[in-house]
Structure 1
Amino acid sequence: MLRRITNRLRIDRPRVRYSGTSCTAQKQKGLVLGVYDGCCPGEFKLSPTAAKFDECVSGRLTELLKGTKLKSGKVQVFGNLGDEFYLVAAAGLGPESATTNQAEGLDECKEYIRIAAGVGAQALQDQTITNIFVEEFTNAESAAEGAALGVWRYQDWKAKEQQLTASAIDLYTGNDREGWNRGLVKAEAQNMARELEEVPGNLMTPSIFARFVQEHLCPCGVTVETKDKDWIERHHFHAFLTMAKGSCEPPVLIELRYCGVQSNEKPIVLSGKAATFDTGGLCLKACKGMSVHRADIAGAAVTVGTFRAIARMRLPLNVTALLAVYENMPSGMSVKPGDVVMARNGKTIRIEDTDNDGRVVLADVLSYSSVYQPCLVINMGTSNPGLLTSLGAPPNGVFSTSDIIWWEMHRAGMYTGDRVWRLPFWKFFRSRVTNFVGVDTTNVGRGPGGYPCLAAAFLLEFIPPCIDFVNIDISGTGTVNVHTGMPYLRKQSMSGRPVRTIAQFLYQIACPHEYIHDC
């Protein structure tokens, strides 16, 4: 079963698998071209590549587009435009003058390109086109991201004869093959995270997850070590074991190490909530919609995808990850509301709500990060749905102890289109999770509201002294894709966010002189 799961995931660069212009090959080929908004309503302007193609087909593309009013996110598909391609998708590119919008926190030029490439590729895929060429637009990296994210589908457990078209993508014209390949690396890493989030809980247990990570990261040069329950007990991860003991599946601690520079350079440590399934424990979640909590592995999935990306990009920095993988299940062995446990750093935690399991487990993980003497700790997880209520799905909530780190994360979000929004690490929230009689802290906190801030304040209690800390709340962004404004992610599929933003952030830290902002 494990081999069946791991063999299903294919993240190698898409290749063109045909040659010649036979009728069969021609019917398998499609092309995505861009169309800018015109100066006046109803007008349009072809991209340079689309204009050249239009010349080759004697202006028929222009004729067909008259009166269509293509806008960003919209696409028109045409046939009988030459002998090379069976279908051509003309996708809206928005205004040609689009650039970085500081008020929106977004490089709109790149995002328009992702949207055009994504919806164009999806439209051709829906017409059963198996080989899709995408023009470079003005940024090949963004075009590759949009197309690769757009054609991804999770259908591993459908009968083969019922599966929808799986399409390969490639660059049509342009000289920026390096940018195209970089975009594919980031998108494929995000698709890996999406796959991990989608796998049903019975097929992605902690032990299966550990072997999956070994099979997919070790070939990239990442060192993967899996610690069993005995090791976890010997090293006093009592909070972790307390939350995991309700399940028959044994927990594991996975350590990932990527060494891009000398070993004496301090690493960045990544961590993430890694519940392969979260029922809520004795504080049981509602039955309706519970299946989506197979995606409570999202923090770990994003971490694994990020490691895949940075290893393939060969970034010159050291990164370590700690993933405490477990199931949160109800049973006679489960932790009970009101139980008290001591974390690795000696602080006691009263567990008021067993559904707030992730932060309790991460208390041990974050405390243990001191072993690596990191320069920065970044945690990601689906800690609380409160952020989805307040911000909706578009931004990832970021708590940062460093203004400089926050700004770099913000720049990365602008660049990738997977935006972030800063939230407060105030002493007020710390007081709500620490001022108790009899224990040092609780996993709920005192008073109404502010639950994402309380979760972040709780985690901050377990960060080693004098180390910068970033907590990224992906409750509204890292699981099922709904209402995100990202049409290149198919609705109701897992999102894998924010893999590209974390990978871009690490790229900016490792190669600040190579950071390119212009579209």
Structure 2
Amino acid sequence: MLKSAVKGSCSLFSCNSSVSVLLRIVPARSISTSSFLLDSAEEKSNMLSGRGMVVGCYEGEDGAELTEAGKTLDAKYNNKITRILKISGQQVKDGDSRLFYDISEDLTHLALVGLGKRGPEEKQEDMLMSRHNVRCAAAAGASLLKKAKVKEIHLEGLSDPEAAAEGTHLALFTYDDMKGKKPTNEEPTNEKPSVLLWDGSSEGEREQWGRGCVLAEGQNFARWLMETPSNHMTPTDFVDAVSRKLGQCENKDKIEISPRPYSWIKEKKMGSFLSVAQGSDEDPWFLEIKYNGATSPDTNPLVLVGKGITFDSGGISIKPAAGMPEMKADMGGAACVTGTTLAVAMLGLPINIVSLMPLCENMPSGKAVKPGDVVTAMNGKTIEVDNTDAEGRLILADALCYAHSFNPTGIIDMATLTGAVGVALGSGAAGTYTTSESMWERFHEASRTTGDRLWRMPLYNLYSKQMKSRIADINNLGTPSRSAGSCTAAAFLKAFVECDEWCHLDIAGVMSGGTADLPYLSKGMSGRPTRTIIQYIQQLCSSQQ
């Protein structure tokens, strides 16, 4: 995939400056357009099967200023882009997008997108704004062209090809696996166009574009796993889907996939994990994936741990009906771990990684764990189950214990763990807990780069004290139960961690897309913060070279 993404291009385009131009102006941050009227069926057919181009421009003092690639294309078309800009109104502000038609016989559509003001990189809103603007602009342009039913979308790099690739491929993601086929007399409305980098790009720009495509693919695979209905994504289905995907990627020879069955889980004495799984008729699995990218297979790995509840009813402490359909995505942690592993393998990063995912459903039944039960984790600690809907920490406890058996350089766990983190942070950032300053600094920098933000939360001893049980070693719910819920959940996990380099990401607040601050993510499951974890690993590899 990386190889094809880096080298994918197509010859562009002959110029015909005498052809008239149609224009549609789209408001800031809007990435939709209505259909347009053409004179004939033949003309309409040509438009619908045509090629489109996304070109960027900055806010200049005297009006819109094209990127360097845009200027090259403008010269190729005898300054036609500049002329139609003057006709339509000079300034194209950050987030604006304008769609022009019939530029030449071979360029049927041109999406002009605003990148904001040109200048040095600024960190605003805890992210690199120029990269964020490129993602949003690429997404707006690609979405306009897709809406216009363009079959082939070309992009210039918008001064940051990696960010442009991310924004484009994230914006074009759709989940339509469950939709029936359209009648044969209806035109398909959701057909995915091909996306290519402009052939005037340098080799370095192609490499950046290729990285961005891989980062987006990792996140989109996590989104696909999260979007799939739970009756089509049981623990067994998850194992099968991940095994197929990783078995097809580049560097698959460096990947080892080991699905561990119930008998193995029981043999490892993962009583905390099994207590959650016992209420469902679906078999639990403990999915272990190794990526051996370091020079030596004996190099100590980084361990990733992801919560894999493929449906969370709450168990005996059953959830209210409102919002329960989204609990098909309660395996978001495992999905993000998988997407990260996929991207790391595709990029061929020089690191060893072990990915661990306990997979099961949390269901009520006559066999289900009950409030007040006491279960025993892999490390021998006893846990009083005060609330069966606090199940994610129960399966993670055993996974974290097992993670230490690999003598890891660090452990990162991620989970759609608490609604409380959504109350605290909303969709603005994932809650991040760590006692390692170096991990936080690297993660914080990674999140600024990707625009998928993290926010550090406290791990005070106070929260550990609130997890005490009267009859067991620890309680799975803090006291008082409605106080600092995300913090006490992290404190619970901390009780099962001995590694100094450990970080917990509570991603429940960012599990859904369609938010105004990230317009390149449509409604539905977001796959966040997959790209930030990949970026963290890339930075870690760079620091070790």
Q: What is the TM-score when the length of structure 2 is the normalising length?
A: 0.87
Of 235, 258, 264, 1:225 maps to 258
Q: Which runs of 5+ in 2 are unaligned?
A: 15-42, 183-187
SS of residue matched to 1:160:
coil
Alignment of 1:316-355 (within 5 A): 316-355=350-389
SS of residue matched to 2:375:
strand
SS of residue matched to 2:467:
helix
Report what 1:494 is aligned to: 525
Report what 2:193 is aligned to: 167
Give the CA deviation at 1:54: 2.5
Query: Structure 1 residues 476 and 123 mapped into 2: Cα distance closer, same or farther (>3 Å)?
Result: same
Give the CA deviation at 1:14: 9.4
What do the CA deviations read for 1:425-472 (whole angstroms, capped 9, x no partner)?
Answer: 1111111113x3221111111124211111111000001x24321001
Give the CA deviation at 1:482: 3.4
Report what 1:189 is aligned to: 218
Alignment of 1:63-78 (within 5 A): 63-65=83-85, 66-67=88-89, 69-78=91-100
Moved more, 260-269 or 45-54: 45-54
The answer as to 2:34 corresponding to 1:34 is no
Give the CA deviation at 1:106: 1.1
Report what 2:18 is aligned to: none
SS of residue matched to 2:330:
helix
Report what 2:37 is aligned to: none
The answer as to 2:412 corresponding to 1:378 is yes
Of 294, 308, 320, 2:328 maps to 294
- 1:432 & 1:196 partners in 2: Cα distance? 35
Instruction: Indicate conservation of the 8 Å contact 2:164/2:212, yes or no.
Output: yes
Give the CA deviation at 1:191: 0.6
SS of residue matched to 1:119:
helix
Report what 2:26 is aligned to: none
Give the CA deviation at 1:62: 2.9
Give the CA deviation at 1:484: 5.1
SS of residue matched to 1:283:
coil
Moved more, 211-220 or 239-248: 211-220
- 1:284 & 1:389 partners in 2: Cα distance? 20
Give the CA deviation at 1:381: 0.5
**AA aligned opposite 1:512:** S
The answer as to 2:126 corresponding to 1:105 is yes
- 1:302 & 1:62 partners in 2: Cα distance? 43
Instruction: Indicate conservation of the 8 Å contact 1:266/1:373, yes or no.
Output: yes
Give the CA deviation at 1:480: 1.7
Instruction: Indicate conservation of the 8 Å contact 1:18/1:25, yes or no.
Output: no
**AA aligned opposite 1:47:** T
SS of residue matched to 2:466:
helix
The root-mean-square deviation of aligned C-alpha atoms, in Å, is: 2.3
What do the CA deviations read for 1:61-89 (whole angstroms, capped 9, x no partner)?
Answer: 33433437533232111102122211110
**Percent identity among equivalent residues?**
35
Give the CA deviation at 1:25: 7.5
Report what 2:79 is aligned to: 59
Report what 1:508 is aligned to: 539
Moved more, 449-458 or 481-490: 481-490
Instruction: Indicate conservation of the 8 Å contact 1:186/1:309, yes or no.
Output: yes
**AA aligned opposite 1:455:** A
Instruction: Indicate conservation of the 8 Å contact 1:72/1:115, yes or no.
Output: no
State the structure with more CA Rg: 2
- 1:371 & 1:207 partners in 2: Cα distance? 25
Report what 1:3 is aligned to: none
Query: Structure 1 residues 285 and 98 mapped into 2: Cα distance closer, same or farther (>3 Å)?
Result: farther
Instruction: Indicate conservation of the 8 Å contact 2:384/2:471, yes or no.
Output: no
Instruction: Indicate conservation of the 8 Å contact 2:311/2:330, yes or no.
Output: yes
Give the CA deviation at 1:310: 0.6
Give the CA deviation at 1:39: 2.8
Of 135, 140, 149, 2:170 maps to 149
Q: What is the TM-score when the length of structure 1 is the normalising length?
A: 0.91
- 1:208 & 1:44 partners in 2: Cα distance? 51
The answer as to 2:102 corresponding to 1:80 is yes
Moved more, 194-203 or 29-38: 29-38
Instruction: Indicate conservation of the 8 Å contact 1:223/1:257, yes or no.
Output: yes
Report what 2:517 is aligned to: 485
Count of residue pairs the alignment pairs up: 499
The answer as to 2:494 corresponding to 1:460 is yes
SS of residue matched to 1:433:
coil
**AA aligned opposite 2:151:** T
Give the CA deviation at 1:218: 3.1
The answer as to 2:430 corresponding to 1:396 is yes
Give the CA deviation at 1:11: 12
**AA aligned opposite 1:44:** A
